[in-house]
Amino acid sequence: MSVERTRPPHGGHGEHGITVLLKSMRDAVAKEGSAQDRLDHLTRVIAIHVVADVCSIYLRRPDNDLELYSTEGLNPAAVHKTRLKWGEGLVGLVAARHSPLVTSQAPKHPAFAYRPETGEDPLHSFLGVPLIRSGKTLGVLVVQNKARREYTHGEIEAVQAVATLLAEISASGELLSQEETEAVGAMLHGPEKVKGFGIVSGIALGRAVFLQPPTPKHKVFAAAPAAEAARLEDGLSELRRVVDEMLASNASLGGVSREVLETYRLFAYDRGWKDRLRAAVFSGLTAESAVEQVKAENRARLSQSRDPYLRERLHDLDDLSNRLLRLLAGEKNGGKRILHEETILFARTMGPAELLECDRNRLKGLVLGEVSATSHVAIVARALKIPMVTGAPEAMERTEEGDQAVIDGDAGEIHIRPAPETLESFRTKQSRYQERQAIYASEKNLPSTTRDGVDITILMNAGLALDLPYLEETGAAGVGLFRTELQFLIGTQLPSVATQEALYREALDLAKGKPVVFRTADIGGDKTADYMDHGDEVNPAMGWRGARMAMDRPGMIRPQLRALLSAAAERDLCVMFPFVTVPAEVDEIRELLDREIDRARRRDKQLPNNIRVGAMIETPSSAWRADLIAEKVDFLSVGGNDLAQFYFAADRDSERVQRRYDPMNPGFLSFLRATVERVSKTGKPMSYCGEQTTDAVTAAALIGVGVRQFSVPAAFVGPFRRLVRSLDAGKAAEWFKAHESAPIVSLRSAFTEFLNENGAVLE
């Protein structure tokens, strides 16, 4: 056995602080006596080492109450008597939020709940940390002090580390009685309904499977650190073998998916991660507990980052940690998830590569807790037409592995352990949904013309090569928006020209002659990678992004333009620049394109037969001067999401603000109509893309204000065509002109009534 495998690491936790605490906790767990005696001794040990006047442990009961199980510093008579409802008081708030809570004036906190039997009157400072295992809150660890003080970042991290171990101990059976251990893991088993946000439409039924499933039970403390270090080394070696094998077996994957897998390998071979794991082992933990502790530390640190890319990387570290835990437990291949015939996959975070690895015949739906509608996994799920709901992290806590689950991607609902009648109603709804899809497919070759003879061009959005087959399936006229930034956001460096060229050429090949509009990388704002020096902006959505970044960093945009020109050689190329705000920016960015064209000619490179250049209208400034911008390009595209956000000064990623405005606002629609009229005078085509196009009422209003070309998600091409064919565009325009000055917040209700009365199909 090598010295490296068994010797304590240099530095690390050292022989003081957390190491001493862990050893004391191990002794407390091994202490003779009743379960309550051991728990009380453990609480006392924690209080002494974190220098707290009070240390208390609350455990979650089957009815979701949080019961005071042990305390050092409060009235002992309150143990097993004091209870707080889920979300009640500071303790309940910590459990409900699934995150720590710190305050120096606990009695003045709006959530404070006074319990006279505890004797906590003189206490002011409060630090509460949830006991989390396998994504579920099992209880709360509370530290309190009489003095008003601010707990340091180091103290908070130390208490979080202790809480991680307490959760493991509570579930392992090492501390509590068998009955109490079973009660700790008990959750509600009746039917539950959780409300989230629908990201991908559709109905999905199946059995719940966790991407990060409950880890095998294991001991928390080890008697022989050297032996645990050897086990850890073996586990890491096997993990690296599995990751290498994953890359080798997925050699056909390219672009974004390949780069994600390469990122996994970088993390798996990271020396710093390994050193931290070994340091935890030599502090007295088993290899499994060391992995759990370091994983919790990573999550606590990275989840606070403002950088979206770093937050996205959490899933990489979590996935590797869980694979390693299963390898340590003796499972082959890191315990890769075995899916049921019909599976609903639950995960807090997930990356596109993990989704692409799943058996798509068995995977019916996704419930994700920490992703947005524009995240990479959401885009892939939409391309694969896998119903998806997000924004309901509590669903993870209320669901057990194997539970029956139903998700409604349209309503944003998750039904856990549904009653038989509920399940039957959703089977009926799913059957109707599938019937509608069959109807859409049968209508794919019908002209998208309104009842009064107005032709509407329907294009689709894409961002991956796997999106392109839907051109044929849906009958879309082409790709109106191909997002190219995914390659830039995943990976540790800018994608090479060759890598980009391969993706663009594949997209054009799969389009089979239909037009594909490539939007140059819309980088910046909320879309950045860690290798990009984007500074610390207070409002990144209005900062250094899109065309602005491209003009300031030609070293990023020019290789992409070079790849596009090469991929489209002897074919037509449509390239569009994002976030153009004033006409002069078009001149500057077109100059970069001209330089790449000259470069290709000097090298006798084949060029596209025809190059069409477009610009995106995403701000009021560009909309107001859309006619001047149109004179400098071949086509325009309105980015409805951003344009609405800037028009209303409402961050589209803020749930609170989002509820305050509606694109059916008469002022916004009037603004769009004026933009359409200005552009129409130039004779240049203008399309509209944005989430508003997936809402039938808003889409009909857009036709009413004069928009004649749309780019929509593939799943909405069919419903959109049916809407168009059922609509009288002239009547819609007349209705809008009669109501555009109405002094109301939204025309939605009145316009919906008009559409229903005139036979419009709103699906």
Q: Is position 5 within any domain? A: no
pLDDT at 132: 82
What confidence score (pLDDT) does residue 314 get? 60
Supply the pLDDT for residue 591: 94
759 against 5, higher pLDDT: 759
- What's residue 10's pLDDT? 44
Whether residue 205 sits in one domain with residue 154: no
CATH at residue 151: 3.30.450.40
pLDDT above 90: residue 159: no
pLDDT of residue 280: 85
Would you say residue 18 lies in a domain? no
620 CB contacts (<8 Å, ≥6 apart)?
A: 643, 646, 647, 671
Say which residue, 163 or 638, is predicted with more confidence.
638
Same domain, 372 and 502: no
113 and 245 both lie in a single domain: no
Both 460 and 374 in one domain: the answer is no
Final residue in a domain of this structure, among 307, 336, 365: 336
> Are 279 and 374 in a shared domain?
no
Q: State the pLDDT at residue 510.
A: 93
Residues 622-643 have a mean pLDDT of 95
Identify whether 673 is part of a domain. Answer: yes
Tell me how many helices (H) and strands (E) the chain has: 30, 22
Residues 6+ apart with CB under 8 A from 674: none
Q: What is the pLDDT of residue 647?
A: 93
Q: How does pLDDT run across 664-684, given as a tens digit for each residue? A: 999 999 999 999 999 999 999
* pLDDT greater than 50 at residue 523: yes
Tell me how far the alpha carbon of residue 14 is from its chain's centroid: 37
Asked whether residue 354 falls in the same domain as residue 328, the answer is: no
pLDDT over threshold 70, residue 401: yes
Neighbours of 588 (CB within 10 A): 13
pLDDT recorded at residue 332: 63
pLDDT tier, 653 (very low <50, low <70, confident <90, very high otherwise): low
Q: Does the pLDDT at position 312 exceed 60?
A: no
Task: Name residue 524's beta-bridge partners.
Answer: 527, 545
Domain boundary, last residue among 362, 394, 418:
418
* Ramachandran angles phi, psi of 488, nearest 5°: -80, -25
Least-confidence region, from 149-153, 394-398, 516-520, 530-534: 530-534
Instruction: Give the pLDDT confidence score for residue 758 in this predicted structure.
Output: 94
Range of the domain at 347: 190-211+343-418
Residue 577 sits in the same domain as residue 716:
yes
- On whether residue 683 sits in a domain, the answer given is yes
571 shares its domain with 651: yes
Higher pLDDT, 352 or 159: 159
Q: Taking residues 211-235, what's their average pLDDT?
A: 78
pLDDT tens column, 250-259: 555 454 445 5
Same domain, 494 and 638: yes
Predicted pLDDT at 181: 63
CA distance 101 to 58: 15
- Whether the predicted pLDDT of 298 surpasses 50: yes
Strand partners for 142? 56, 128
pLDDT at 248 over 50: yes
Indicate which residues carry an active-site annotation.
376, 689
Q: Which two tokens stand for residue 280?
A: 């935890």
Question: Is 258 among the domain residues?
Answer: yes
Task: Look at residue 90 and tell me if it is in a domain.
Answer: yes
Taking the C-alpha atoms of residue 518 and residue 481, their distance in angstroms, rounded to an integer, is 6
Task: Quick: pLDDT tens for 436-476.
Answer: 889 999 999 999 999 999 999 999 998 777 788 889 999 99
Would you say residue 557 has pLDDT above 60?
yes
Regarding predicted confidence, which is higher, 315 or 657? 657
Last residue of a domain, one of 282, 309, 336: 336
Answer yes or no: is pLDDT of 212 > 70: no
Residues 154, 204 share a domain: no
Distance CA 4, CA 1 (A): 9
Cα–Cα distance measured from residue 46 to residue 730, given in angstroms and rounded to the nearest whole number: 74
Q: Is the pLDDT score of 621 beyond 50?
A: yes
Q: pLDDT, tens digit, for every residue of 685-723?
A: 999 997 788 899 999 999 999 999 999 988 889 999 999
Q: Is 538 domain-assigned?
A: yes
Give the pLDDT of residue 705: 96
Q: CB–CB of 396/135 below 8 Å? A: yes
Mean pLDDT computed over every residue of the chain? 83
Per-residue model confidence (pLDDT) at position 324: 85
Q: Are residues 523 and 649 in the same domain?
A: yes
Question: Does residue 172 share a domain with residue 76?
Answer: yes
pLDDT of residue 272: 79
In degrees, rounded to 5, the angle at the alpha carbon of residue 501 between the alpha carbons of residues 500 and 506 is: 105
The confidence score (pLDDT) of residue 13 equals 37
What predicted TM-score, i.e. pTM, was given to this entire model?
0.61
Of the chain, the percentage scoring pLDDT greater than 70 comes to 81
Residue 446 in domain: no
